[in-house]
Structure 1
Amino acid sequence: MSQSNTVNVQILDKEYCIACPADERANLEGAARYLDGKMREIRSSGKVIGADRIAVMAALNITHELLHKQQNLDYQSSSTKEHVRTLLERVDQALAADEEHRGA
C-alpha cells in the first residue's frame, strides 16, 4: 500500500498543498497543470472575471470534454462489438460451408 504525502501544485498563481499517494503524484501534477492551463485560457479570454467563476467555467469545460470523450468511447466500443459479431457470423458461415463441402 502506498503512503500518502503532500504535493504542492500551482493553479492560477495560487499554491495548493494536497495529500496524495506517492504513486499518484505524477497524475496529480499533470491534472493540476491541465486545470491551470484551462483556467488561464478562460481568464485570458476576458469574458469571465473572478477566480471562482473561472474555476466553475474550467470545471464545466473539462466535464464537457470528459463526457464527449466517454460518448465517443462508448460509440467505438459498440461499433467494435458489432464488427466482431459480424466477423464471427462470417467465420461460422465459412466453417459451415466447409463442413458441407467436405460432407458432400
Structure 2
Amino acid sequence: MSDRMVRVSVRILEKEYQVACLPEERSELLDSAEFLNGKMRDIRDAGNIVGLDRIAVMAALNLAHELLKRNRNDAIESEVSERVREMRERVESALSRGQQLPL
C-alpha cells in the first residue's frame, strides 16, 4: 500500500470491508459504498435473489446498464449539439454573405 493511501472501512449489507484509497478520495468512496449498499438492499428486499454474491452481481449489472445508457445518451447529445453548431455556422455564414441556403 502506498504511503499516501489510507484504509477506509465501509459496510455493505451488514458486512464490513476495508478499502484503500487516497485521502482526497475518501468522501467519494464512502458515498459510493452508501450508494451501492442502497442498490444491493433494494435487490435483496425485492426477495427474488438470494446470496450476497448474486445480489452483488445483479447490482453491478444494473449499475453498468445505467452507466452505458447514460454514456450513449451523452454521445447522442454531443453529436446533436455538434450538428446544431454546424448548421448555425452555415446559416450565419450564408446570412453574412446574403445567400439563401438550399434545404
TM-score between both structures, scaled by the size of structure 1: 0.89
Deviation at 1:95, TM superposition (A): 1.4
What residue is the counterpart of 1:96 in the other structure? 97
- The residue number in structure 2 matching 1:25 is 26
Alignment partner of 1:3: what SS? Answer: coil
Residue correspondence of structure 1 range 39-58 to structure 2 within 5 A = 39-58=40-59
Structure with max Cα Rg: 1
Runs of at least 5 residues in structure 2 that lack an aligned partner in the other structure = none
| Separation (CA, whole Å) in 2 of partners of 1:18 and 1:53 | 21
**What RMSD over aligned residues (CA atoms) do the two structures have, in Å?**
1.4
Question: Quick one: distance in 2 between partners of 1:55 and 1:84?
Answer: 43
Q: Secondary structure at the match of 1:68?
A: helix
Q: Which runs of 5+ in 1 are unaligned?
A: 99-104
Runs of 4+ in structure 1 displaced over 6 angstroms? none
In percent, how many aligned pairs have the same letter?
39
TM-score computed with the length of structure 2 as normaliser: 0.89
Shift of the alpha carbon at 1:64? 0.5
Give the helix-richer structure, 1 or 2.
1
1:43-82 alignment runs, 5 A limit: 43-82=44-83
Aligned-residue offset at 1:3: 1.9
Q: How far apart in 2 are the matches of 1:40 and 1:51?
A: 10
Q: One-letter code of the match for 1:35?
A: L
